[in-house]
Amino acid sequence: MKNSLSIILPAKNEAASLHTLLPTLTDLYRDAEIIVVDDGSSDETGKVCKQYNVKVIRHAYAKGNGAAIKTGARNATGDILVFMDADGQHTPGYISTLLEAIENGNDMAIGARDKASHASLPRYIANLFYNKLASYMSDHDILDLTSGFRAVKARIFKQFLYLLPNGFSYPTAITMALFKCGYSIKYIPISCPKRTGTSHIKLMKDGLRFLLIIFKVTSLYSPLKIFCPVSVALFFTGMSYYGYTYIQQGRLTNMSILILLTSLIVFLIGLLSEQITFLIYSQNQKKDG
């Protein structure tokens, strides 16, 4: 690597897996800055890290996976940031493939898990749904929206720290944001072993958060993707109701007019929001330039 490298691992009660993961990382990437963000662990996570002479940043209490990622990014000095889970699911051998994708001109490379790598069938189905929805919202094929194994240029990633949630899921937010801003992202197929310990993700609770993040980022960068379908649905509802009342009563009712006007208002709000985000993004680009 021509660029300096920082490997960031958010960890909460991952002492068992770090015993195996850290020796491998320090052996493969001797010149890399390895940062473990201890997110208020109650086990010996911090003590294990000290054994392998890696940089440890400890949160006084558990702030969440996203908060740990942001802490690691703020303290990282590398030109390229690699994020991976500390639970043993991400194989260090794939890091070189991610870095190669960055060297070939991509701004971010993501490890896309195969079907066998998901913890359960319901989670696999949920991820498929999120991938399809996010692909529509961003106009790009998203193969693994929630994968936490990725490499990214530090100067780009740090521009979006304000957008990342403190909990789950930072991968959703950063993937959507970079796609909407026109950055290059490449997916690398990976296979993940079973994690050590138990997962901190709750399917229903965190699944709802994923949806909210998708809509939040889309509303920031492409509001019409949300407002336009709603407007079209209202328009056809209004026209259908008008057709029904015209056949039954031979007239245009107030309800039909109200629905059609609501459709128009929703579309105009989306159009106005689109122009505002375009102006804000253009100003930010000028500042960055």
CA angle (175, 281, 223) in 5-degree steps: 65
In this structure, the answer to whether residues 55 and 167 fall within a common structural domain is yes
Is pLDDT larger for residue 285 or for residue 48? 48
In this structure, the answer to whether residues 112 and 217 fall within a common structural domain is yes
**What is the C-alpha separation between 118 and 100, in angstroms, rounded?**
25
Contacts of 259 (CB under 8 A, 6+ apart): 234, 237, 238, 241
Is pLDDT larger for residue 252 or for residue 287? 252
In this structure, the answer to whether residues 250 and 133 fall within a common structural domain is no
> Of the candidates 171, 195, 221, which is a domain's last residue?
221
Mean pLDDT of 153-171: 88
In this structure, the answer to whether residues 190 and 233 fall within a common structural domain is no
**What is the C-alpha separation between 157 and 138, in angstroms, rounded?**
18
In this structure, the answer to whether residues 199 and 277 fall within a common structural domain is no
Say what the pTM is: 0.77
- Please report the pLDDT score of residue 172 as a whole number: 83
In this structure, the answer to whether residues 233 and 192 fall within a common structural domain is no
In this structure, the answer to whether residues 50 and 189 fall within a common structural domain is yes
Q: Which residue has the tokens 């690398």?
A: 188
Tell how strand 5-11 and strand 33-39 pair up: parallel
In this structure, the answer to whether residues 60 and 37 fall within a common structural domain is yes
Q: What are residue 62's phi and psi, to 5 degrees?
A: -70, 115
Percentage, residues of the chain above pLDDT 90: 45
Mean pLDDT of 150-155: 96
> Of the candidates 177, 198, 221, which is a domain's last residue?
221
Domain total of the chain: 2
In this structure, the answer to whether residues 83 and 112 fall within a common structural domain is yes
pLDDT in tens, 104-119: 999 999 999 886 665 5
Residue 239, judged by CB atoms within 10 A of its CB (0-12, 13-18, 19+), counts as: middle
CATH number of the structural domain spanning residue 113 = 3.90.550.10
Domain span including residue 143: 5-221
Would the pLDDT of 212 be above 90?
Answer: no
In this structure, the answer to whether residues 33 and 173 fall within a common structural domain is yes
- Please report the pLDDT score of residue 167 as a whole number: 80
**What is the C-alpha separation between 24 and 183, in angstroms, rounded?**
31
> Of the candidates 162, 194, 221, which is a domain's last residue?
221
In this structure, the answer to whether residues 170 and 261 fall within a common structural domain is no
pLDDT in tens, 26-67: 999 999 999 999 999 988 888 898 888 899 999 999 999 999
- Please report the pLDDT score of residue 73 as a whole number: 96
In this structure, the answer to whether residues 253 and 215 fall within a common structural domain is no
